[in-house]
Amino acid sequence: VSQPKTTSMKIAVVGTGYVGLVTGTCLAETGNQVICVDINADKVKMMQNGKLPIYEPGLDILFHRNIAQERLHFTTDLGSAIAEAQIIFLALPTPPGGDGSADLSYVLGAAKDIGKLITDYKVIVTKSTVPVGTADKVRAAMDSQTTVEFDVVSNPEFLREGVAVEDFMKPDRVVIGTQSERARKLMGELYGPYVRQGNPIIFMDERSSELTKYAANSFLATKITFMNEVANLCELVGADVDMVRKGIGSDDRIGRRFLFPGVGYGGSCFPKDVQALVKSADENKYDFKILNSVIEVNESQKTVLSGKVKKYFNGDVKGKKFALWGLAFKPETDDIREAPALYIIDELVAAGATITAFDPEGMNNVRNLIGNKISYAADPYSALHDADALLIVTEWSLFRTPDFDQVAKLLKNKVIFDGRNLYDLQKMIDCGFYYNSIGRKIVS
């Protein structure tokens, strides 16, 4: 039996954010011709000049290689980007609207524009995270503008910022929602090179595919939130959440991953996706009780660390000076959207404290967002000078084994509040720190 011949394809990617740029670059990496289009002219110019607008490990090598080999191009002109493309990916924002539901204006606006421009058969792929029923809306938006044949496919993206390139090149699974045989064949061929180890390409209808993405993110947000509640209870009953975590994680049905308690989930996806799924459920007169609780618990988890700090200083942090390690919502990214650090900064600065922060990649974005509401340090140690306490908010590897003698020398008080449980309790006792972490004994 002859195998279907896979040949390089012409692809357009609309939106070059964390998802679009990784998608475009990784699709070029296997030999496809890719044009990425964005309305942000500064960003496009930067990429045309060979500069990456985001920090994502490993992306630079692929980005430069595919530009040099002329498979990866950037433009602000949608028309020229899609003229030759067989497949058009929409990797556009779907931020929460005023009521928490996903704002589809970017996706549907682009669909309309594409409808006006196409002159031959195209597959339009929604990579953005979109609510159930969006494929029908994209189809209707295009239908209102064209009589040319096209198919709409739902292909949610599961990449994780920080390991996005690896996740795209070797996905655990690819989900493709379509009922068109023609689109199914094209998408299967496109993704073939990425699943050579045998990870599945799971074909399904559009609605199931759209819901799969929300269910996945909501499940993960629930898992984290569950552990945050276990941690809070550990503190009250004198148990150690790290032991409980290992104790339950060794059960295959639970798994070791995603069991680390902390300062609440953040980022550009979990908060908005959980909210949007609750909203979708509401619209269908279904009360998604567990997710409403997840949202509520996560809101209060964001204040757990600042609450501990305030309690330590008897409710008065006015004039206190804090060092803060970690601004990005997680390690290995410069993304600060919904980052827990921003909430902690708000709380403590509003209470009269001053903060000097260090983050390996997130400082520029925070500076652009809140300016000199806080100070920024050139390295972790210079943030510590004369500080009343050190707060750890993001678990960058760099913070895992600091020079504790230096830390002790530079801080005014040997006090650490750790929102990520980076350090061994005995080590902290030996080094003479007061050390308050999440779901574990306070030691001093």
Alpha carbon distance, N-terminus to C-terminus of the chain: 70
Task: Decide if 269 is catalytic.
Answer: yes
Distance CA 217, CA 163 (A): 16
Stretch that binds ligand NAD, among 37-45, 80-88, 135-143, 350-358 (CB under 6 A): 37-45
Check the annotation: does 63 bind a ligand. no
133 within 8 A of 154, measured Cβ to Cβ = no
Check the annotation: does 213 bind a ligand. yes
Own/partner pairs, 408-412, CB within 8 angstroms, 24+ separation: 408/432, 408/433, 410/381, 410/384, 410/385, 410/386, 411/323, 411/384, 411/386, 411/387, 412/321, 412/386, 412/387, 412/388
Shortest distance, CB of residue 90 to ligand NAD, whole angstroms?
9
**Exactly one of 26, 36, 269, 431 is catalytic; which is it?**
269
The amino acid sitting at 382 is S
The residue (of 44 and 416) whose beta carbon lies closer to ligand NAD is 44
Binding flag, residue 17, ligand NAD (CB under 6 A)? yes
Binding flag, residue 34, ligand NAD (CB under 6 A)? no
Stretch that binds ligand NAD, among 4-12, 91-99, 276-284, 395-403 (CB under 6 A): 91-99
The residue (of 161 and 418) whose beta carbon lies closer to ligand NAD is 161
Shortest distance, CB of residue 131 to ligand NAD, whole angstroms?
11
Count of Cβ atoms closer than 10 Å to residue 1 Cβ: 2
Q: What is the CA radius of gyration of the chain?
A: 24
Shortest distance, CB of residue 16 to ligand NAD, whole angstroms?
5
58 within 8 A of 28, measured Cβ to Cβ = no
Shortest distance, CB of residue 421 to ligand NAD, whole angstroms?
24
Binding flag, residue 16, ligand NAD (CB under 6 A)? yes
Full strand arrangement of the beta sheet holding 389-392: 375-376, 354-358, 321-325, 389-392, 415-418, 434-436
431 within 8 A of 408, measured Cβ to Cβ = yes
Catalytic residues: 269
Q: Which residues are annotated as a binding site?
A: 38, 43, 94, 129, 158-161, 213, 258-262, 266, 272, 330, 337
Residues at the contact surface with ligand NAD, assessed by CB under 6 A: 14-20, 37-40, 43, 91-94, 106, 109-110, 128-129, 157, 159, 161, 268-269
